[in-house]
Structure formats: structure tokens, C-alpha cells
Amino acid sequence: MKREAKRTGVFTRRALVLAAAQMGALGLLGTKLYQVQVVEGGRYATLAQTNRVSTRLIAAPRGRLFDRFGETIAGNRSNWRVLLVAEQTEDVDATLDNFSRLVPLADHERARIEREVRRHRRFIPVVVREFLDWDDMARIEVNAPDLPGILVDVGTTRLYPFGSLLAHVVGYVAPPSEADVAEDPIMALPGLRIGRAGLEKHHDLALRGRAGTMELEVNAVGRVIRELDRQEGRPGEDIGLTIDTELQKSVLDRLGEESASAVVLDCRNGEVLAMATNPSFDPSVFNSGVSQAQWVEWTSNRRAPLINKAAAGLYAPGSTFKMVVALAGLEAQAISQSERLNCPGYLDLGDTRFHCWRKGGHGMLDLRGALKNSCDVYFYEVARRTGIDRIAAMSNRFGLGVKLDIELPGARTGLVPTRGWRIAQGHAWNIGDTVVHGIGQGFLQLTPLSLAVMAARLATGRAVQPHLTRLVGGEPQPGAAAGDWPPLGLPEFDLHAVREGMWQVVNEPGGTAPIARLTLPGVQMAGKTGSTQVRRVSRDQREHGFKSETLPWEFRPHALFVAFAPYDAPRYALSVVVEHGNAGAATAGPLARDIMTDVLVRDPAAPREQPQRVADDAPPRPEETR
């Protein structure tokens, strides 16, 4: 039995070692448990909270845009959608088959739906079809028993009641891009649209409002168990614009088929009453996505419907620039109002000859006469005496070649060259360059909007800034009163001479644009024509009786016209630019006359009983006389 005792002893020792090892291991587990639960517990408890609570955003309705009389320019419309919740149907295919019997689904739509169903978890709704009408909705509701998993839902979509009328001013909304989503998590909201152009973009933050949040208790697969907390958002601000949609409509009608733009300002305070660009496009197309064909059509169209020509189109101002040259010359005392210069039909400078538009010349002309006849040689000489830098400085005071306060993200500044600018480009500035800038050619690149601002500043002598916004969330924006704008600091004597020259252009026999004379009783308009070559006219063409009408469309000169009225008490300023419209007087002049007639008849800037809420808190305005 000694062997048995030996064996028992070994077993006892081994069993005790084993038991001790087991208890040691369990003790280690206990320590580790303490580590995980108590020491690191706080960190994991925080993780548990985020695990459990999911914060979701509630979309805020986008602010609306109204015109100056309270007409809705951009609103929100209910968007009836059909969604599919895959987990609520046993057979997605069967449901879609039944659905397409009611509302036909194209193959690519079907493919998209199936792809999204596969990609998302099965309780997440997938959009089957948007923008359904009542008939479709009714049919779907009636057949609901055959459509398990189909859900009818109402979202919102942007509505532009006037369609293409204000597309370039209002802009459009579109789904955010990947980069936008990274920047602000609110962008991830399903169906959210953000402003992508025009006022929709400029006022995007105000219009967007603040999304509400919803704290939901969710389980591991993201299914909502219940709502824990809800914070309502703030709807976007409504914005009142300076635009008069009725006027805008008639201006756009006047532009007809031309590739043209026109801007009408209240010249006392810079309110933009109309800003029309032709041709236009339907901004709501961007909301649901632009088709490839549509995009190609837009971008290949040589009349460029997507470009806001009024604020982003750049043109040489031509003769419409002559008032600025005259004022620069007067201020620099390079010329006096009464000094008469001879126009033989050309100006020789070194071995270069600069022609007047009138072959035989104008003879002796003073300032007013030079404006009235739009004599080129007179302004060649004034520019030569004044110098480009003084002309550029005067241009800037008139809002040319400087950034304007307009609320359009796509607006361009244009270019008024200076000697320094040219030298910075690595070229010398020649006296010949100065001379051609005297008649608004050369490097000058200006927008129709800035030309309208120039007209307004000529009319009032104040540095009015163009603006489109009157009210944001009912709050009046500054700049509504004429007194809000500082004087230009030019002698009224000089301004008056230039205005008189502009008056003669339209109203005196022998002016360049008698066709633009208003037919309204007791109201007169002052204006200035302009035609700018888009291609250099060769001596050969000049000698063989050049007729721009015979050129192909894209080589014809642009036609411009700037004006203000009434002449004795200016209230409205406008600019019209017709691309490739040949002569300013022939094409742009009548347009300016008709538009100004419409404006004066309608008189949108006059104080009136305004029916809509937008006007309720409009600021008091100075007394006006007609």
C-alpha cells in the first residue's frame, strides 16, 4: 500500500496546484472585470449613451422670396412622394410590379430603387417616386392592400411660380454636394436643397433657417424605439425683394428673342426693379436634377441661357462711357463745358489715324454737342488730355470696374484699365490706348448692371448701390432712402452739362437717338447710345462701305443704351444691352424707350397701399411728386 499512498500524495498535491491555478485565473478575470466596469467604466458608459441615443435632424421649411408687392417668387410646395419600406413587404419585386401597374416605373427607376433597397437597412424608406399628382396618389391609396411596404409621404420642394422669369436673379436650389455635406451635417437631411445660384445662394443661410433635432432611442440595427426629446427648429427667413415682377415680365417680353439684358433701377436708392436676361431657363429643373440632354442644350447654346448677362455679362461700354470721360476731363480741367473742338472725321496720333463714326466729321463741337452727336474725335481728344488714370478713377466713382453691393454671387466686377494694370501685365501703356478708351473701347469690360448704376449716379449725383433685398424676416434693410447714399462730390454744374447732353441725344433733332424719345406727355428721358465692335473693322472694309448688318450674327456689334427719367426729376435709371444688336440707336434705343415707358406708367417705386404682409413694416419713405 505504499505505492497507493505515494500516488494519493501526488494526486493531492497536483489537485491543489490545479485548484489554486483555477482560482487564480478566475481572480484575474475578476480584476479584469473591475478594470472594464469600474476603472474604464466612464468611457464605456459614454459610448453606451451614444449607442443608445441617435440625434436626428428635422428639416426647417426654407424661407420664401417675395417681390416688392408681396407676390411669391419662391415658395415651398408639398411634394407627394411614395416610399418603400422593404421590411414591411415579403416580396419587394411583387410590390414594385403591382405599383408599376398603377404608376409606370421606367427600367432605370426600378434599377435605382432596387439598388437603394439593397444598400440600406430594410427598415429605411427608399424613395420610389416623387412629385406625384392627386390622381396617382388616389390610385395608390385605393390599392394600398396590394402594395405592402408602400408608404405615402409628403415632403416639400421649391416652387418658382414665375418659372424662368426671375431665374437669373433668384437662382435655384439643388441637392448639396459631397463637399457641402462634409461642411455642415444638416446637409445630410433627406430631400434638403441648398441655394446654388443667385439670391437663393446669397441668402442661403437666412433662408435655410435652423433645423430642429430629435433625440431618438434606437437599437443596434438603428430601428427607432421611441422619441426621447425634440427641439423644434426655426423656419427660414422670408425675404422681400425690390423686384417688381409685373415690370420684370414686361421687360422680358420687350427683349423678345434677342440675346439681351436690361436693368431698371430706382435711381434714388439703387433698388433693382427689374433685372432681365434673355434667354432664361426654368430654375425648378435643378431641384429634381438636370438631364444630360438639357445640360448640353444649355451649355452649347450660343445665347448662353444660364449666364446672368445683366450682372455677369461683360461688354465694352462704347459711347455710353463718354459721360464719364467728359466728367473726368471737366474735373481735370482738360476741357471746359464751352470749349469747342474740331472734328474732321479722324484724329491723327503719330502715324495712327483714329476715325470718327461719322465719315465726314462733325465740325466744331462743345461738350453738349459732342455728347448729342456722340462724336468720337472730341472724346479721343478729351481722353488724350485727361489721361487714362483720371478716367479710370472717375469710372470707379460711377460704379464701373468696382465691386458693387449687389447680392448676386455670380456678379462680376468688370475691368477699367489703368496704366499700372497694363504695366503689371508686362506691357507699356501707349497714348493710343488712352484715346480708344475715350470712346469706351479698348480693355474696358463692364456689366449692364454697372452701366445702369452709372446712369443712376449721373442722374442723382449720389453713389447709390444697386440692391435686391428690401426685407429680411420683416426687417427693413438699409439703403432704401435716397439720403442713405453719399454724394459723389462732383459739381452740379458739370453733372448738369452731361445730363443736358444726354437729354439732347434723345430729345433734340439731330441727336443720335431721337427714336428713343418718350411719347408720354410731360415726361422726358435722357440717354446715351453705344455700339461696340466685337471685331476690328479693317481699313479695307471701311473704304468699301462696311455694313454690320451683313455680318454673321456672332460678329455683329453689341448695341447698348443707358438712360434715366424723368429728366427734370430723375426716378428711374436703366441700361439695355443687346448682344450683336448692331447699332445702339436702332436696336437698344427703342427697347429703352419702351421699357422706360412701362416703368413710368407703372411707377413701381411710388408709395402705395401695399396689400401683403411683406410691406407691413416697410420703412416710411420721403414724399414724392410726379
Which residues of this chain interact with other proteins, rule CB under 8 A?
1, 3-4, 6-7, 10-12, 14-19, 22-23, 25-26, 29-30, 32-34, 36-38, 40-45, 47-49, 51-52, 217-221, 225
Q: Reduced to 3 DSSP states, what percent helix, strand and coil does the chain have, rounded to the nearest 5?
A: 45, 20, 35
Q: Which is nearer to other proteins, 48 or 188 (CB)?
A: 48
Question: What is residue 485's DSSP assignment?
Answer: S
Q: Which is nearer to other proteins, 48 or 606 (CB)?
A: 48
Distance CA 71, CA 430 (A): 53
Q: Is the Cβ–Cβ distance between 463 and 268 less than 8 Å?
A: no
| Smallest gap from residue 183 Cβ to other proteins (A) | 25
The C-alpha cell that represents 529 in the structure block: 447710345
| Smallest gap from residue 181 Cβ to other proteins (A) | 21
How large is the C-alpha radius of gyration of the chain? 35
Q: Which is nearer to other proteins, 41 or 611 (CB)?
A: 41
Distance CA 309, CA 613 (A): 32
| Smallest gap from residue 83 Cβ to other proteins (A) | 24
Beta bridge partners of residue 226, listed in sequence order? 217
| Smallest gap from residue 35 Cβ to other proteins (A) | 9
Q: Which is nearer to other proteins, 3 or 119 (CB)?
A: 3
Q: Is the Cβ–Cβ distance between 268 and 256 less than 8 Å?
A: no
Q: Which is nearer to other proteins, 21 or 481 (CB)?
A: 21
Q: If we measure between CA atoms, which residue out of 416, 360, 428, 414 comes closest to residue 383? A: 416
Residue with grid cell 444649355, as numbered in its chain: 298
Q: Is the Cβ–Cβ distance between 241 and 614 less than 8 Å?
A: no
| Smallest gap from residue 44 Cβ to other proteins (A) | 2
Q: Is the Cβ–Cβ distance between 445 and 415 less than 8 Å?
A: yes
Q: Is the Cβ–Cβ distance between 149 and 134 less than 8 Å?
A: no
Distance CA 201, CA 272 (A): 18
**Contacts with 519 (C-beta within 8 Å, 6 or more apart), sequence order:** 597
| Smallest gap from residue 185 Cβ to other proteins (A) | 20
| Smallest gap from residue 121 Cβ to other proteins (A) | 12
Q: Which is nearer to other proteins, 2 or 539 (CB)?
A: 2
Q: Which is nearer to other proteins, 47 or 569 (CB)?
A: 47
Q: Which is nearer to other proteins, 46 or 336 (CB)?
A: 46
Neighbours of 53 (CB within 10 A): 13
**Contacts with 122 (C-beta within 8 Å, 6 or more apart), sequence order:** 85, 86, 87
| Smallest gap from residue 477 Cβ to other proteins (A) | 50
Q: If we measure between CA atoms, which residue out of 267, 279, 215 comes closest to residue 460? A: 267
Q: Is the Cβ–Cβ distance between 526 and 565 less than 8 Å?
A: yes
| Smallest gap from residue 78 Cβ to other proteins (A) | 35
Q: Which is nearer to other proteins, 22 or 301 (CB)?
A: 22
What 3-state class would DSSP assign to 243?
coil
Estimate to the nearest angstrom the gap between the alpha carbon of 252 and the chain centroid.
Answer: 17
Q: Which is nearer to other proteins, 49 or 625 (CB)?
A: 49
Cα–Cα separations (whole angstroms), residue 62 to 188, 192, 236 = 15, 9, 5
| Smallest gap from residue 13 Cβ to other proteins (A) | 10
| Smallest gap from residue 19 Cβ to other proteins (A) | 4
Q: Which is nearer to other proteins, 39 or 569 (CB)?
A: 39
Distance CA 586, CA 607 (A): 35
| Smallest gap from residue 49 Cβ to other proteins (A) | 8
| Smallest gap from residue 88 Cβ to other proteins (A) | 19
Strand 239-241 with 65-66, pairing:
parallel
Longest CA–CA separation in the chain, Å = 149
Distance CA 285, CA 171 (A): 11
Q: Which is nearer to other proteins, 40 or 184 (CB)?
A: 40
Q: Which is nearer to other proteins, 227 or 568 (CB)?
A: 227
Cα–Cα separations (whole angstroms), residue 364 to 91, 373, 379, 437 = 92, 11, 13, 22
The C-alpha cell that represents 467 in the structure block: 440692391
